[in-house]
Amino acid sequence: MKEENHIIFFDGICNLCNGAVNFIIDRDKNNYFKFAPLQSSISENYIPSSIIKNTDSIMYWDSGQLYSKSSAALRIARKLDGQWKALYVFIIIPKFIRDYFYDLIAKNRYKWFGKRDSCRMPTLEIKNRFLEMD
């Protein structure tokens, strides 16, 4: 497996998004996922810039397929250790319903959880999990 097959792109200045990255790392003992901020140049190799500029979503690159919003979150949960895999059952709910709730949280994430002045910098222990950091 190439390291570029399973990349989670996240808003590097969003406290909720950074918390989600920490949550995923803690439950991904096999280092399945790699991470990159949407604000990094690496994201432009996988995601059209028009999407990056207009997204309120985590994006998940899975072996050539790009997922966003609730689809990305559920596909990520399916790969986590423990009972988090069970959340994937919600994929049967129509996307427009799942994404309604995702969008509600995403649009208020800075107000509810705050934001940073700059993208997170990974610690030495997890630096290898992050692709190019600008």
Q: State residue 66 phi and psi, 5-degree precision.
A: -105, 130
Query: Mind listing the pLDDT tens digit for each residue in 45-77?
Result: 888 887 877 777 899 999 889 999 999 999 999
Task: Count structural domains, the chain.
Answer: 1
| DSSP 8-state assignment for residue 54 | T
Q: Evaluate whether residue 134 is within a structural domain.
A: no
pLDDT band of 120, cuts 50, 70, 90: low
Q: Evaluate whether residue 59 is within a structural domain.
A: yes
The DSSP string of 77-132 is: HHTSSGGGGGGGGGGGS-HHHHHHHHHHHHHTHHHHH-B-SS-----TTTGGGB--
Q: What is the pTM of this model?
A: 0.85
Q: Evaluate whether residue 113 is within a structural domain.
A: yes
SS3 assignment, position 14:
strand
Q: Evaluate whether residue 112 is within a structural domain.
A: yes
Cα angle vertex 84, ends 54, 113, to 5°?
45
Q: What is the pLDDT of residue 109?
A: 86
Q: Evaluate whether residue 72 is within a structural domain.
A: yes
What is the distance between the alpha carbons of residues 84 and 74, in angstroms, rounded to a whole number? Answer: 9
Domain that holds residue 83: 3-129
Q: Evaluate whether residue 35 is within a structural domain.
A: yes
Q: Evaluate whether residue 51 is within a structural domain.
A: yes
Q: Read off the tokens for 46.
A: 């996988």
* Stronger pLDDT, 31 or 53, i.e. the higher one: 31
* Stronger pLDDT, 133 or 85, i.e. the higher one: 85
